Structure 1
Amino acid sequence: MKKIQEEKIIFEDGLSFRSSFPSLRNYFFWHYHPEIELVYIEAPNGIRHVGKHISDFTGSDLLLIGSNVPHLNFDYGIKTNYYQAVIQMKTSLVDNILMNVPEFEKIRGLLERSYLGFSFKGKTKKVVAKKLKNFKSEQKLNALLDLIKILQILAESNEYEILNTEDTRVKLFFHDKIRMGIIYDYVHENYHNKPNVHEIAQAVHLSTGAFCRYFKKQTNLTFTDFVNKYRISMAKTFLLQNISVSEVCYQVGFDSLSYFSTLFKKLVGETPTNFKNK
């Protein structure tokens, strides 16, 4: 059974943060760490799972994740080329400097709420993405100042989505014996067929009723809603390729083209045809 993992982050001497470009697309890494994390990823489509929030992103995503908040690696399951940059900040940097210097008041407010998880949009995402791509951690002091500037941009922005409405830090997750990795693997292997709630409940050693209650509590979604969101997420990836809407519909497991189009528009905000054309 896959369990949540604590990531042990090793910092280079003389740095209070770590900059990296991880590639874990074939690895389900449901994890947490004390460090606050800033992630930027470019990919045609991917999964965003932070705390209890589950959704997908298209094109790119910029996220700020608080200390000890469980999250899935954002490149999980991506089949195409992608770019990912991650900055993780030592708790000493956050607690001793960013939280105590009065000039960092807005940053402090942002970091204090980061346990909810933020996804940034629009101009904010574009500006920060450019800075992250030019980020040079080997220039230690300049890099720290650049990081603080990035945090200030985020702190002053109103272009963001709050991902969770409650505290999901790992202290509240430790009692869970069932791990989302089993469910993700099952759905990924069966989304195009007919995922069976009884089958996955048995795989995680719960009755069907207990599994449904557990899953709804952990994700705020029913298992059927989760499968359908996963199917639509995969459909977006296929639509970006040279595959027709009708082919994609059946490829991701829907029997009705009209239902697929209706659900796609409900979840994405536009029809599959418009999404593909755009």
Structure 2
Amino acid sequence: MKTILQKITNDASQSFACRVYQTPQFETNWHKHPEYELILILKGHGTVMIGDYVSDYSVNDLFFIAGNLPHWFRKNQPKMTGAALVIHFTNDCWGDGLLEMAEMKAIQSLLQKNNGLQLEKGLKKEIAESMQLMQRKKGFEKLMLLLQCLHQIGLSSQYKILTEDFTDAGHVVNPIIEKIIDFSFKHYQEKVTLEQVAAMANMSVPNFCRFFKKNIKKTYFDFLRDLRISHACKLLTTTTQPILDICYESGYKSWAHFSKQFKDVKQQTPSQFRKMYLP
């Protein structure tokens, strides 16, 4: 995939960026940047792609994204307001040598991995509070808050690894795959065939399958499955719709197929998943 290389700018008074992005600046295509990213969702919900990971996101979700790890946050509804508090920093924004200190071992270990993480439980709450405080601080206090956040993440186990040591081949692959992803986001609730998407890429089906897997690290139908299950999860947790209706609304024509794929992705049935979120 030809990944968009996003340029992150800071003002001269700080070594890293901490700002709120809101619609339309919140919306981005599949992109990457050398800076590491901490992103706290403030408004909106939708689908997130980080490396080869696809799932849903909602308000208060908090992600850590390694430098040069491609990602994409896409709202479920075009007219919805999307907003996030985002921190961008490089691994040398504090100068040379700091991370070599023995006290920085946890941070050094965190930044050496090309991972995407979703923070959970108490860690998510603590980091979210620190990020919001960081937005209001300046200078030394702001930098110390960033180091404190990274230190806490590095020492914790309260996160889910979404993608691990993902290698992006985007700089050498035809950008048509971005068109395929955009099409899939718009049409995953409908019947989609390999012949249809291969024709969009002007390839034979076998060539398209190899092309897609090389870039996204999963088959096209696994990618489509993840989009559909992500949508189903959102409906299961935010509506009282019958599960059979959710099955059909998520692009499935068969309950048995939906149930099997849901369990393959979430390791539990749709009804078990919904019960986890009942008040």
TM-score by length of 2: 0.84
After superposition, residues 43-82 of structure 1 pair within 5 angstroms as 46-57=46-57, 60-72=60-72, 74=73, 76-79=74-77
C-alpha displacement of 1:276: 3.5
Count, aligned residues:
272
Cα-to-partner distance string for 1:60-85 (whole Å, 9 max, x where unaligned):
5332222222222x3x1233666522
Cα-to-partner distance string for 1:31-86 (whole Å, 9 max, x where unaligned):
121212112226785433223333444665332222222222x3x12336665221
C-alpha displacement of 1:19: 0.8
Q: Does 1:20 align with 2:34?
A: no
Question: What is the identity, as a one-letter code, of the residue corresponding to 1:23?
Answer: Q
Change (3 A) 1:219 1:155: same
Q: Does 1:133 align with 2:129?
A: no
Corresponding residue for residue 148 of structure 1: 147
Q: Does 1:212 align with 2:196?
A: no
Q: Does 1:236 align with 2:233?
A: yes
Change (3 A) 1:132 1:11: same
Contact 2:2 2:172 in 1 (8 A): no
Moved more, 261-270 or 148-157: 261-270
Corresponding residue for residue 253 of structure 2: 255
Corresponding residue for residue 93 of structure 2: 93
Change (3 A) 1:178 1:205: farther
SS of the residue aligned with 2:21?
A: coil
Measure the CA separation in 1 of the matches of 2:214 and 2:155. Answer: 33
SS of the residue aligned with 1:229?
A: helix
Change (3 A) 1:204 1:23: farther
Give the root-mean-square deviation of aligned CA atoms: 2.7
Contact 2:39 2:84 in 1 (8 A): yes
Measure the CA separation in 2 of the matches of 1:209 and 1:18. Answer: 44
Q: Does 1:271 align with 2:269?
A: yes
C-alpha displacement of 1:268: 2.3
Measure the CA separation in 2 of the matches of 1:275 and 1:166. Answer: 28
Q: Does 1:224 align with 2:260?
A: no
Change (3 A) 1:212 1:162: same
C-alpha displacement of 1:141: 1.7
Moved more, 196-205 or 236-245: 236-245
Percent identity of paired positions between Structure 1 and Structure 2? 27
Measure the CA separation in 1 of the matches of 2:89 and 2:95. Answer: 10
Measure the CA separation in 1 of the matches of 2:221 and 2:119. Answer: 28
Structure 1: runs of 5 or more not aligned: none
Change (3 A) 1:31 1:137: farther
Measure the CA separation in 2 of the matches of 1:269 and 1:167. Answer: 23
Measure the CA separation in 2 of the matches of 1:96 and 1:21. Answer: 28
Contact 1:5 1:29 in 2 (8 A): yes
SS of the residue aligned with 1:39?
A: strand
C-alpha displacement of 1:272: 2.5
Measure the CA separation in 2 of the matches of 1:215 and 1:24. Answer: 30
C-alpha displacement of 1:27: 3.8
Measure the CA separation in 2 of the matches of 1:63 and 1:43. Answer: 15
SS of the residue aligned with 1:16?
A: coil
Question: What is the identity, as a one-letter code, of the residue corresponding to 1:161?
Answer: K
Measure the CA separation in 1 of the matches of 2:53 and 2:12. Answer: 35
Change (3 A) 1:233 1:107: same
- Pick one of 242, 245, 248 that aligns with 2:243: 245
Contact 1:54 1:219 in 2 (8 A): no
Measure the CA separation in 1 of the matches of 2:270 and 2:11. Answer: 46
Contact 1:46 1:77 in 2 (8 A): yes
**Dislocated runs of 4+, deviation >4 Å:** 42-45, 57-60, 80-83
TM-score by length of 1: 0.85
